[in-house]
Amino acid sequence: MADYSYGTVISSRIRLARNINGYPFPAKLKSDRQAKEIIRSVSSAINRVDEFVLKYMDGISDDEASILVENRLISPALLDNPTHSAVLINESGDVSIMINEEDHLREQCIRSGMSIRKAYAEMSAKDSLIARSLPFAYDEQLGYLTACPTNLGTGLRASVMLFLPALSLGGLMPDVVKSARRLGLTVRGAYGEGSVAEGYTYQVSNEVTLGVTEETVLKLVEQVVSKVVEIEASERERLKRGEEGLAIKDKCLRAYGTLTNCALMSHGEFDKLCADLKLAACLGYIKISDISAVDELMIKMKPSNLNVLAGRSLSAKERDEYRASYASNRIKSLCQKR
């Protein structure tokens, strides 16, 4: 029997918001000098812990900055005030600590698959070590103090990225969003706040940070995700056997056909076709040995990543040509038609 939960959970992300005692929140920092002082303190605290690379936002090229955003290692907001901000990134690239974004520290760990526990364990261990040499702003009653009240308390945001083609195509996402909200969770399109989900991809995350333990939050997110995965699975089966099944199959197969036979491919079209390619794998029309490799390829094919791959700054047309050639070869090697 087909495994209809295949490829549903893309990745898990833990984010902790922290601030340092004795400094105003980043938006209120008086000078570059003060901002740089914070950057140095955080950097030396973490580098007692692990091998992290420090990148000042006013010390990198536009292309480097874009790549950090494309790879989700920094938020675009970190670039708003580049003389104040920096990021620390570990060797394997799964942990990054933004300095002077909305809070002094935004610690983040991303792991593929359903791994919020592992990600939390890793991030929390690093956080404790940093806390040994940096006095975090903490209130016995409230918990960690943050620039925005929505992060107050645990400072924890646990989120899981989900691929939900059947719920999307079946028009059931509004119900999922509503049910999740009742439980204190937010479900939104993965690309941009409140946006309609491109590529059938959604992010489930906790809303509440105040008056709850980290354990409660992680458990809730796990439970809801597991339920959503289950509903998605049964909807996939329905979609495949339903009246529109053949049209869906046609759309999926064509996506594979176009991805593996083209000479020009824009970034927007590529993402759309990859979503349909993944759907083809979910419904069993195409075999993909490792579906997370498609997600990795989607990041690699973003404009700035592509420049790095090509070894130079490409024009828009050159990029579309390079993407078509690189991606079609890669997808051919990843896929096997059934």
Q: Site residues (CB under 8 A) for a second copy? A: 246-247, 249-250, 253-254, 256-264, 317, 321, 324, 337
Nearer to a second copy among residue 135 and residue 257 (C-beta)? 257
Nearer to a second copy among residue 124 and residue 325 (C-beta)? 325
**Token pair listed for 266:** 């824009």
Nearer to a second copy among residue 77 and residue 246 (C-beta)? 246
Nearer to a second copy among residue 118 and residue 249 (C-beta)? 249
Burial class (CB in 10 A: 0-12, 13-18, 19+), 261: exposed
Phi, psi of 148 (to 5 degrees): -110, 135
**Token pair listed for 15:** 């984010």
Quote the least distance from Cβ 166 to a second copy, whole Å: 17
CB 104 within 8 A of CB 24: no
Nearer to a second copy among residue 36 and residue 240 (C-beta)? 240
Burial class (CB in 10 A: 0-12, 13-18, 19+), 210: middle
Quote the least distance from Cβ 325 to a second copy, whole Å: 11
DSSP line for 7-55: T-EEEEEEEEEE-BTTS--GGG---HHHHHHHHHHHHHHHHTTS-EEEE
Nearer to a second copy among residue 178 and residue 317 (C-beta)? 317
Quote the least distance from Cβ 235 to a second copy, whole Å: 20
Q: Distance between CA 119 and CA 122 in Å, rounded? A: 5
Q: Distance between CA 218 and CA 65 in Å, rounded? A: 31
Partners of residue 153 on adjacent β-strands: 144
Quote the least distance from Cβ 338 to a second copy, whole Å: 12
Quote the least distance from Cβ 179 to a second copy, whole Å: 33
| Terminal CA-CA length for the chain | 15
Quote the least distance from Cβ 254 to a second copy, whole Å: 5
Nearest to 6 by CA among 186, 240, 194: 240
Buried/exposed 222-231: b ≥16 CB within 10 Å, e otherwise: bebbeebbeb
Quote the least distance from Cβ 1 to a second copy, whole Å: 22
Nearer to a second copy among residue 1 and residue 263 (C-beta)? 263
Nearer to a second copy among residue 48 and residue 317 (C-beta)? 317
Nearer to a second copy among residue 140 and residue 243 (C-beta)? 243
Quote the least distance from Cβ 264 to a second copy, whole Å: 4
DSSP line for 64-79: HHHHHHHTTSS-GGGG
Alpha-carbon dihedral of residues 256, 278, 5, 209, nearest 10 degrees? -170
HEC assignment per residue over 105-140:
EEEEEEEECCCHHHHHHHHHHHHHHHHHHCCECEEC
Quote the least distance from Cβ 313 to a second copy, whole Å: 19
